[in-house]
Chains A and B, each alone.
Chain A
């Protein structure tokens, strides 16, 4: 009899008996995202950890993540009690501490800074403006989301998807609307993966064939001294102007200085390889963990995904339109196609400019020119995120 009771108790405690249909649906969604990551190769480096985090957090009884320790839907001013989290939290709660305390996104930015060469931007500082123009999508969506009934804080977090920068979107969402983090991260990374699909039609629609064929002058060589002073100067200027952007911009520029200074190769290599990889794993799983059934299965998620697309498309469009403006004032020296690279998504967006440019004129090489607005976009979206945070909190 005891034996049968024991089996019965085990069965009742197993996940199969306690699972709700919402959790089952979430498990199916996470499997679909895993499929997109593995088979379709949509940003697999992040999508796979995120999707797996979603899978783990929705397995009933596993107790790896406790949403109630982090947010209280009734009380927006709820502050997590870290002592309690350390005592009762599961492993995903512990990973999530790094996101909630805004440690991981700046560390990722450090790696991004160490991986990217700001030379094309230094050689052609006009392209800074394209990086700014592409941030229009953020503010456009900020208004749109509020008209659709989102609160100002939520709208701010959703708008940042238009910056097309994963770490920035995560950084802002944890500060402004942590309950939407899962949906925002999934939307941001999906659209970043879809850059080659979303951008070309917008770029072609807004430019004439003649504009697309524009060949740009070769960039001037940039000296080592300039490359070293650049990160220091940007840090001082931006962090004084918008202190809320300091964690992202500061770390981005530290990474870049490590790269360009040439005297701390070991640190620079760690930043762009081991460190960013480790943080990516923890960040991905932690973000995925927040996508619990009760958080994620809401009409809002669908709206966020739709608004994310709008943000992205408007950002691209304004980048291209500003590129046209530069084409016009420089009398045809700037190819407007590089404007679309002003949304960050490094280096994918720059490759798209190159590809569309080559379709119009096979002998045209826009890649290096597009890298300028592309890295300016990283700085621009971090600045926009900082402004959003300081305007809304």
Chain B
């Protein structure tokens, strides 16, 4: 009875420690992999792409877009010394199938 209990709880711990260790290692690999991809250069390139061309007077939307870019820059670890101005924006048509978009919207709601 005592032996069974000790064996029991030890195996539970062993199993979950093994899982925990595996997930920890796996997480390490994944996090390193994903941070390497996103360097600040890429982030800057993205901003330049957004900054392109033409004219608009939708001030509110510009404010929102500017804030979003600022926020994502901050997240990427870039301090706001690079000041950005959104001069224009262009809507890019989504190329994902309508079913995927609907599914995504359902998840978001």
Interface residues, chain A, with chain B CB atoms under 8 Å away: 121-123, 125-126, 128-129, 131-133, 135-136, 138-140, 142-143, 146, 152, 220, 222-223, 225-226, 229-230, 233-234, 237-238, 241-242, 265, 376, 379-380, 383-384, 387-388, 391-392
Interface pair A223/B34, CB less than 8 Å apart: yes
Contact sample, A vs B, 10 pairs, CB 8 Å cutoff = A121-B23, A125-B20, A129-B13, A143-B1, A223-B30, A226-B27, A230-B23, A242-B15, A383-B12, A391-B4
For the residues of B in contact with A, the DSSP-based class is helix
Interface pair B17/A132, CB less than 8 Å apart: yes
Interface pair A241/B8, CB less than 8 Å apart: no
Known: A143-B5, A220-B31, A226-B27. A383 touches B15 (CB 8 A): yes
Residues of B within 8 A of A135 (CB): 9, 12
Residues of B within 8 A of A230 (CB): 23
Closest B-chain residue to A225, C-beta based? B30
Among candidates B4, B19, B23, B31, residue contacting A238 with C-beta atoms closer than 8 Å: B19
On chain B, the number of residues with a Cβ less than 8 Å from chain A's Cβ atoms is 28
Residues of B within 8 A of A225 (CB): 30
Interface pair B4/A142, CB less than 8 Å apart: yes
Residues of B within 8 A of A384 (CB): 8, 12
- Which of B2, B7, B12, B15 is most buried by chain A, counting CB atoms within 10 A of its CB? B12
For chains A and B in complex, what number of residue pairs have CB atoms within 8 angstroms? 95
Interface residues, chain B, with chain A CB atoms under 8 Å away: 1-2, 4-9, 11-24, 26-27, 30-31, 34, 103
CA distance A393 to B106 in the complex (A): 47
Interface pair A123/B27, CB less than 8 Å apart: yes
Closest B-chain residue to A233, C-beta based? B22
Interface pair B11/A128, CB less than 8 Å apart: no
Residues of A within 8 A of B20 (CB): 125-126, 128-129
Interface pair B9/A234, CB less than 8 Å apart: no
CA distance A123 to B19 in the complex (A): 13
Among candidates B4, B8, B16, B22, residue contacting A129 with C-beta atoms closer than 8 Å: B16
CB distance from B33 to the nearest CB of A (A): 9
- Which of B13, B19, B31 is most buried by chain A, counting CB atoms within 10 A of its CB? B19
CA distance A338 to B86 in the complex (A): 44
CA distance A35 to B12 in the complex (A): 38
Known: A226-B27, A376-B16, A383-B12. A237 touches B22 (CB 8 A): yes
Closest B-chain residue to A242, C-beta based? B15
Residues of A within 8 A of B14 (CB): 241
Interface pair B19/A237, CB less than 8 Å apart: yes
Residues of A within 8 A of B21 (CB): 125
Closest B-chain residue to A141, C-beta based? B5
CA distance A377 to B72 in the complex (A): 35
Interface pair B19/A387, CB less than 8 Å apart: no
- Which of A222, A223, A387 is most buried by chain B, counting CB atoms within 10 A of its CB? A387
Among candidates A123, A128, A136, A143, residue contacting B16 with C-beta atoms closer than 8 Å: A128
CB distance from B16 to the nearest CB of A (A): 4
